[in-house]
A = this chain, B = another copy of it.
Amino acid sequence: MSETAITAALIVIGDEILSGRTKDKNIGYIAEYLTNIGVDLREVRVVPDQEAEIVAALNALRRRYTYVFTTGGIGPTHDDITADSVAKAFGVPIDVDPRAKAMMLERYRPEDLNEARLRMARIPQGAELIENPVSKAPGFMIENVIVMAGVPNIMQAMLDNVAPLLRTGARMVVETVEADGVPEGIYAAGLAEIAAAHPGVSIGSYPSFSAAGFKNQIVVRGKDPAAVAAATAAVRALIAGLKSDRAPA
């Protein structure tokens, strides 16, 4: 009765992320987006602007997951090598795609579509284009690899455009239980027992820290709503019991 999970990996391409100069905003956005449509993001890699590294990551991940998304490296400058790296990974030719060029002519006059800008119309053979409403230069999808821009608002528009084409699985059901001041070290043993008794769900404990001290949340996730509800009820009962143990007599 369990349907096959639809899985994904994300490759973030860019020296600027690895140097810390640019702080990535795409990983969290894509993770949340894919979770919401029923695609399980299983791995993320950040790699430099080097063809061998990009090709190695593509080939390792595209065979392992239903989809591989990439962000970054599809602009007009010499450091934009994603499309060529994807062509190399698939062993297909790459050249200026007339469909992509036509899209770019919606923005540029023909005399302004110089060689650098035409670089953004270079698409590996066999790919489908992904429209870019912001600046026209398209992303593309070849087999199970989806190539998107790195600029967040362009990436987001491309993701909206490609999402309807994807196979999706059951959506994850997520319940969050506030630990209400009970420390992780106090509820850990009970939580491990609940996790063992509910193998169909994943239960995580997430501390965060602020000037007010630790605040813990317990998150129950799974694709079977009844199983998530049962595990969540058990967690709520655990925390309520421990809280009353700790209340002043």
Complex interface: stretch among A44-52, A83-91, A122-130:
A44-52
Task: Tell me how far the C-beta of A61 lies from the nearest C-beta in chain B, rounded to whole angstroms.
Answer: 11
> Quick check: B209 and A154 within 8 Å, CB to CB?
yes
On whether the beta carbons of A21 and B116 are closer than 8 Å, the reply is no
Chain A contact residues, CB within 8 Å of chain B:
12, 15-24, 27-35, 40-49, 53, 75-80, 108, 112, 114-117, 119-120, 134-135, 151-154, 172, 174, 184-189, 191-192, 195-196, 202-209, 214, 219, 221
Chain B min CB distance to A229 (Å): 18
Question: A188 touching B44 by the CB < 8 A rule?
Answer: no
Given A77-B192, A115-B189, also A46-B20 (CB < 8 A): no
A21: contacting residue among B19, B21, B174, B189, CB under 8 A? B174
Please, which residues of chain B bring their CB within 8 A of the CB of A152?
209
Partner of A44, one of B45, B119, B174, B185: B45
Residues A203 and B79 in contact, CB atoms below 8 Å apart? yes
Distance from A147 Cβ to chain B, minimum over Cβ atoms (Å): 17
Q: How far is the CA of A209 from the CA of B153 in the complex (A)?
A: 8
Q: How many copies does the complex hold?
A: 2
**A16 touches which one: B172, B184, B206 (CB < 8 A)?**
B206
Asked if B188 and A78 sit within 8 Å, CB to CB, the answer is yes
A23 touches B16 (CB 8 A): no
How distant is A174 from chain B, measured CB to nearest CB, in Å?
7
Chain B residues with Cβ below 8 Å from A23 are 28
Which residue in B15, B28, B79, B206 is a CB contact (below 8 Å) of A20? B28
Q: How many Å from the CB of A234 to the closest CB on chain B? A: 14
Q: How far is the CA of A108 from the CA of B183 in the complex (A)?
A: 12
Inter-chain contacts of A17 with B (CB < 8 A): 27-28, 31, 44
A7 to chain B, nearest CB (A): 11
How far apart sit A24 and B23, CA to CA, in the bound complex (Å)? 10
Shortest distance in angstroms between A149's beta carbon and chain B's nearest beta carbon? 9
Residue pairs across A and B with Cβ atoms less than 8 A apart, 28 shown, are A16-B204, A17-B27, A18-B40, A18-B43, A18-B44, A20-B35, A24-B28, A27-B46, A43-B45, A45-B45, A45-B46, A49-B204, A75-B207, A76-B185, A76-B188, A77-B188, A77-B192, A77-B204, A78-B191, A79-B195, A79-B204, A79-B205, A116-B185, A116-B188, A116-B189, A117-B188, A119-B188, A152-B209
